[in-house]
């Protein structure tokens, strides 16, 4: 983190090559976030370019109370969502972005347990796919990207209270729909 602050200060003093170092350090990070949201290599590359242009222009407004990577994540996330809305693109399914949901522990589970886990993953994915993209993103940020409520508020531009309320409501909605789905399968 200190290295990032040093680079930011150097860029703000006019050292252009310091910005190149920031880009090199974070280009894969930005691209990966955009890919998770957009599921399109071309769109993710375009968003990554837009993000670094925005970062360069907005670097003076970066408040050092949060990590540079969190600030960059927020810009990338918002830019990718805006791009998807503008072009009416579908947002990426969370299933492909989640190693935790995709990779069961093959050594400690029986075939029956593995099948049940797979069924649950598909049910969760189906419920999340029915959510509004902004709600699906909140669930994804919290559970899959392990962002804190504060970080989600910064990324999405929502208030802390609003994020907590939405998470509570979305968890309840997921619970109800999964319970109903389980009853349907009995």
Identify the pLDDT of residue 96: 41
Do the domains 94-184 and 2-86 match in fold?
no
Query: Full-prediction pTM beyond 0.85?
Result: no
pLDDT at 27 over 90: yes
Identify the pLDDT of residue 129: 74
The answer to whether the beta carbons of residues 15 and 29 sit under 8 Å apart is no
pLDDT at 7 over 90: yes
Task: Over range 86-108, report the average pLDDT.
Answer: 49
Nearest to 103 by CA among 85, 124, 117: 117
Compute the Cα dihedral for 33, 87, 39, 42 and give only its sign. Answer: negative
Which residue ranges make up each domain of the chain?
A: 2-86, 94-184
pLDDT at 25 over 90: yes
| Spatial separation of the C-alpha atoms in residues 182 and 147, rounded to whole Å | 29
What is the C-alpha end-to-end distance of the chain, expressed in Å? 52
The answer to whether the beta carbons of residues 139 and 128 sit under 8 Å apart is yes
Q: DSSP for 52-92?
A: HHHHHHHGGG--TTS-HHHHHHHHHHHHHHHHHHHTTPPPP
- Reported as a pLDDT band with limits 50, 70 and 90, residue 97 is very low
The CATH number fitting domain 94-184, selected from 2.30.22.10, 1.10.1040.10, 3.30.360.10, 1.10.10.10 = 1.10.10.10
The CATH number fitting domain 2-86, selected from 3.40.50.300, 1.10.1740.10, 1.10.10.10, 3.40.50.150 = 1.10.1740.10
């Amino acid at each position: 983190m200190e290295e990032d602050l040093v680079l930011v200060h150097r860029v703000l003093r006019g050292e252009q090559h310091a910005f190149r170092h920031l880009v090199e350090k974070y280009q894969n990070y930005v691209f990966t976030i955009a890919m998770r949201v957009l599921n399109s290599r071309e769109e993710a590359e375009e968003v990554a370019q837009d993000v670094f242009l925005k970062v360069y222009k907005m670097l003076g407004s970066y408040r050092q109370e949060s990590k540079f990577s969190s600030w960059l994540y927020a810009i990338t996330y918002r830019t990718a969502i805006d791009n998807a809305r503008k072009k009416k693109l579908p947002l990426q399914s969370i299933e492909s972005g989640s190693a935790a949901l995709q990779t069961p522990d093959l050594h400690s589970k029986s075939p029956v347990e593995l099948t049940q886990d797979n069924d649950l993953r598909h049910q969760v994915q189906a419920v999340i796919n029915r959510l509004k993209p902004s709600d699906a993103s909140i669930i994804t940020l919290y559970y899959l990207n392990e962002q804190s409520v504060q970080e989600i508020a910064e990324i999405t531009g929502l208030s802390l209270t609003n994020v907590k309320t939405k998470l509570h409501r979305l968890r309840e909605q997921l619970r109800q729909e999964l319970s109903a789905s389980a009853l349907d399968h009995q």
